[in-house]
Amino acid sequence: MTMPSSRPNADSPMWLSVVSRARITVALLVAGCLGLVGVAVAGQTSPTPALQFIQVGHWVYNGGLQSVFHVDGSTNQVDAQASVPGAERGSQVVQGPNSGYVVGRTRITVFGKATLTVEDAITPPADERPVAVEVVGGPYLVYRAAGRIVRLSTPPAIIPAGGPLGTPVATSDGTLWVHRTDTGALCELAADVLRLACPAQMATDHRGALAMVGDKPVLMDTTSDTLHEVGADGFGANMPVGVDLPASAQVANSDAGGRLAVFDPDRKRMHLIDTAGLAKDRPVARPVTIDLPPDGRYAGPVASAKTIAIVDETRNEVITYDGHGKKKSSTKVPGSGGSPRLAHGEDKRIYVDGPDGSHVLVVDVDNGSVSTVTVGGDNVPSTGSERDKPTGTSTTAPTSTPSTPTQTPSDTGTPAPTTTTAKPTTKPSPKQATTTPAPRTTTTRPAPPPTVPATPPGAPGAVNAMAGAGSAAVTWTAAAANGAPVTGYVLSWPGGSTTAPGSATSATVSGLTNGTSYVITVAARNSAGTGPGVSAGAVTPRAAASAPTVTASISPGGVASVNWTQADLAGGTLVHYLVTATGQADRQILTGVTQYTEFTSPMTVTVRAITRFGPAGSPTVTGAPGTATLTRPPAPPVVLIAGVATTGPDSIAVTVDVTTGDPGTTCQVGIGAGAELKATARCVGRTTIPVRGVVPGPAGYHHVTVVAINSAGQSNPAVWINVPTPQGTGGGFLILAPLALAITRRKKGADS
């Protein structure tokens, strides 16, 4: 494999600096002492030697002792330890052929498995807890949110994935498979290449997770509830899973005895799905459903050949089942300060790290039983088991030559791994008794880790875009600097790009075309280059339509007509106009006119254009409002004569009831058949009008006519006839009974 000749960019792998190289020859000699079973993997081309070995056992970091310990899964014994001062508590440990890696959020510490000493330090590409995969050609660290894959080979390399990833899986030949959760791409990374190939694509609106069935990758589509084989040629056989799975379903890494475990966190159930429908070599059994305590919080499941393990983080318990759903064990996980961590070793065993690294639980791959291994304390490698290992100098050497078979940790809490032994339970063998004691060692201060050169920044997190009018508002979280300050962010989309300051976490992209879909990608840059880009979901800028011009009128018959002009749709497609009016139900109108036959005055009418950008069913946008107000003109008044009274020898008082909406309404009182005008007065409601100069008509009768007038017109006249002439009243007030009711001109005409 040829190393790049120039600085890597965002589209190519990036080499990590590793100063020290553990000698492969020494590692192979020591492999037996560390419980490494050599299994040749034939026909594999990779950047490491063609002969590779499956790594047996599991390393764990004990934060209290600042040391890593190797647990042999076949014997359930601790057979090696190394001092790793300064590592973060809760760090996970992975192993390759020659080195182990203590993986924290801000630092990866490399130690030699042959020398059991710290050899190097690596800066992670992102500030997150990666998913570790131990497999030939690896191990791998997958930074899901950042979309970056670290291959801890010789030399280590970073492979950008271009976007966020799901949980990875790997085949036995070292091929890593990942799922791009933003685009739905299913990609493979062979052990001998440095670039992803993506042969399959799931629907972008579907959710799912990868798993292994019989050493073949499969996709569990939780949207369609189907299981699909995946390979270099794309999708293969598929089958329905027979249960309704949520998008949040947690899928096991592999099948156990032909059944794939899927945990439903919403219903607190684990389903065991028969995968025979893929191979179609036997009848498919119904899914087995296991109900878990509803108050628990669960991690996993993780599966081996015949066993499934899931961790109840609420109770700090690991629960195991066989492939048929039969519960095999439930074991407490000792320790405090966090949650247990499930791990699937390259030796196909399941390991559970205690929260503080003081214990490791080993799950038997055949019967599901669980063994608890204490890490540290008296359970440290014995001299006998370590005697054939090359003696290396620990980063924290003992202050004196051990004089007893057991050495406790120093005051700093850091043991000296190359000289500590467990208390013997039997008499030492003759060979041990005659072994020449190790010479006194001197305390040496470990050299500081080599400076790691700056690399391009990590990927920004939580990239999101929200469409506006001809624009999009983009937000993100800061990217990891990776050794050099972030100087800016590059926002790019088809047809354009812009930049934002290194301190920014948001920007507005303008100049976009309404109705056009855009995918905006954000990448950070520093002095070392530009990091990987992360894309937001597609957004379509949409502008609201302008306000239509609305006019309204009322016909003489009282019908209200509302008209409006065509709005500027801003590139959208008209769905309808939304018409709202006071006291009326909303209307959806396609034309520019509507009418109301009954309404209460005044009535305000509002018209908005409703548009969409895209095919029918696309989200709609409500336009600006146009308004008009309808007010009925006041009607002519209505008048009735309520009574007439004498007030003097030649005067009377006429009382009227006037219905009007105009406070300026006036009444005119006429006397006699010719309605000679005798008085004018304002009249609203009941009003009494004095009339003077009254001369009785023939036969002593009066003839009184009243007309009301307002801005809308004149009322029909109200008439009293045959009113007796007042006599002998002496100025008193006498109400005279009417001899004729008030009538309209129309009534009068009908009687004549």
The CATH number covering residue 199 comes to 2.130.10.10
Could you tell me if 255 and 344 lie in one domain?
Answer: yes
Residue 648 — pLDDT band, cuts 50, 70, 90? confident
| 740 pLDDT more than 70 | no
Check residues 599 and 429 and name the one with the higher pLDDT.
599
CA angle, 679 as apex, 673 and 683 as ends, to 5°? 110
**What count of Cα atoms within 13 Å lies in the side-chain half-sphere of residue 580?**
7
**Cα–Cα distance for residue pair 466/357, rounded to 1 Å:** 44
Strand partners, 71: 58, 78
| 294 pLDDT more than 60 | yes
| 744 pLDDT more than 90 | no
Q: Which two tokens stand for residue 153?
A: 């080979």
Could you tell me if 622 and 715 lie in one domain?
Answer: no
What is the tens place of the pLDDT at every residue in 326-376? 999 999 988 877 788 999 888 888 999 988 888 999 998 888 899 999 987
Q: Show the DSSP H helices in 187-317 as ranges.
A: 276-279
Please provide the average confidence, as pLDDT, over all residues in the chain.
79
Query: Could you tell me if residue 545 is inside a domain?
Result: no
Last residue of a domain, one of 599, 614, 630: 630
Query: Could you tell me if residue 544 is inside a domain?
Result: no
CA angle, 198 as apex, 193 and 203 as ends, to 5°? 160
Could you tell me if 96 and 77 lie in one domain?
Answer: yes
Could you tell me if 622 and 648 lie in one domain?
Answer: no
Could you tell me if 132 and 257 lie in one domain?
Answer: yes
Could you tell me if 590 and 654 lie in one domain?
Answer: no
Residue 220 — pLDDT band, cuts 50, 70, 90? very high
- Per-residue pLDDT, averaged over 155-173, amounts to 91
| 403 pLDDT more than 50 | no
What is the SS3 assignment for 467? Answer: strand
- Per-residue pLDDT, averaged over 397-418, amounts to 34
Query: Could you tell me if residue 63 is inside a domain?
Result: yes
pLDDT above 90 coverage of the chain, percent:
46
**Cα–Cα distance for residue pair 612/403, rounded to 1 Å:** 84
Q: What is the pLDDT of residue 743?
A: 37
**Cα–Cα distance for residue pair 494/164, rounded to 1 Å:** 20
Could you tell me if 37 and 128 lie in one domain?
Answer: yes
Taking the whole predicted model, whether its pTM rises above 0.85 is answered as no
Q: What is the pLDDT of residue 577?
A: 96
Residue 446 — pLDDT band, cuts 50, 70, 90? low
Nearest to 292 by CA among 255, 246, 248, 261: 261
Check residues 176 and 430 and name the one with the higher pLDDT.
176
How many domains is the chain partitioned into structurally? Answer: 4
Query: Could you tell me if residue 455 is inside a domain?
Result: no
Residue 738 — pLDDT band, cuts 50, 70, 90? very low
**Cα–Cα distance for residue pair 158/480, rounded to 1 Å:** 14
Last residue of a domain, one of 320, 342, 374: 374
Residue 444 — pLDDT band, cuts 50, 70, 90? low
Residue 29 — pLDDT band, cuts 50, 70, 90? very low
Q: What is the pLDDT of residue 445?
A: 56
| 524 pLDDT more than 90 | yes
**Cα–Cα distance for residue pair 325/285, rounded to 1 Å:** 13
Residue 54 — pLDDT band, cuts 50, 70, 90? low
pLDDT above 70 coverage of the chain, percent:
78
- CATH code, domain carrying 708: 2.60.40.10
Query: Could you tell me if residue 228 is inside a domain?
Result: yes
**Cα–Cα distance for residue pair 476/505, rounded to 1 Å:** 5
Q: What is the pLDDT of residue 625?
A: 96
**Cα–Cα distance for residue pair 265/245, rounded to 1 Å:** 10
Contact in structure between 374 and 359 (CB atoms under 8 Å)? yes
Q: What is the pLDDT of residue 700?
A: 62
Q: What is the pLDDT of residue 645?
A: 84
Q: What is the pLDDT of residue 404?
A: 31
| 538 pLDDT more than 60 | yes
Contact in structure between 257 and 217 (CB atoms under 8 Å)? no
Could you tell me if 155 and 277 lie in one domain?
Answer: yes
Could you tell me if 212 and 292 lie in one domain?
Answer: yes
- Phi, psi for residue 702 in degrees, rounded to 5: -100, 155
Could you tell me if 583 and 620 lie in one domain?
Answer: yes
Q: Which two tokens stand for residue 420?
A: 């500590």
Query: Could you tell me if residue 643 is inside a domain?
Result: yes
- Per-residue pLDDT, averaged over 676-697, amounts to 88
Q: What is the pLDDT of residue 438?
A: 46
- Phi, psi for residue 447 in degrees, rounded to 5: -70, 145
Q: Show the DSSP H helices in 19-62 as ranges.
A: 24-31
Could you tell me if 230 and 274 lie in one domain?
Answer: yes
**Cα–Cα distance for residue pair 334/354, rounded to 1 Å:** 6
Query: Could you tell me if residue 416 is inside a domain?
Result: no
Q: What is the pLDDT of residue 42?
A: 33
Most confident of 71-80, 370-379, 401-410, 426-435: 71-80
What is the tens place of the pLDDT at every residue in 590-629? 999 999 988 888 999 999 999 988 778 878 889 999 999 9
- Give 382-421 as a DSSP string: -HHHHTTSPP---SS--SS---SS-----TTS---TTT--
Q: What is the pLDDT of residue 731?
A: 35
In which region does residue 268 sit, left (phi positive, over 0), alpha (psi from -120 to 50) or beta (all else)? left
Q: Show the DSSP H helices in 120-242 as ranges.
A: none
Could you tell me if 103 and 239 lie in one domain?
Answer: yes
**Per-residue H/E/C for 678-689:** EEEEECCEEEEE
| 46 pLDDT more than 70 | no
| 572 pLDDT more than 70 | yes
What is the tens place of the pLDDT at every residue in 251-289? 999 999 899 999 999 999 999 999 988 887 788 899 999
Contact in structure between 22 and 113 (CB atoms under 8 Å)? yes
- Give 601-612 as a DSSP string: SSEEEEEEEEEE
Strand partners, 579: 587, 607
Domain that holds residue 607: 550-630
Strand partners, 659: 638
Q: Which two tokens stand for residue 606?
A: 């509002």
Q: Which two tokens stand for residue 610?
A: 């409703």
Residue 64 — pLDDT band, cuts 50, 70, 90? confident
Query: Could you tell me if residue 414 is inside a domain?
Result: no
- Per-residue pLDDT, averaged over 185-204, amounts to 89
Last residue of a domain, one of 599, 630, 661: 630
Contact in structure between 176 and 168 (CB atoms under 8 Å)? yes
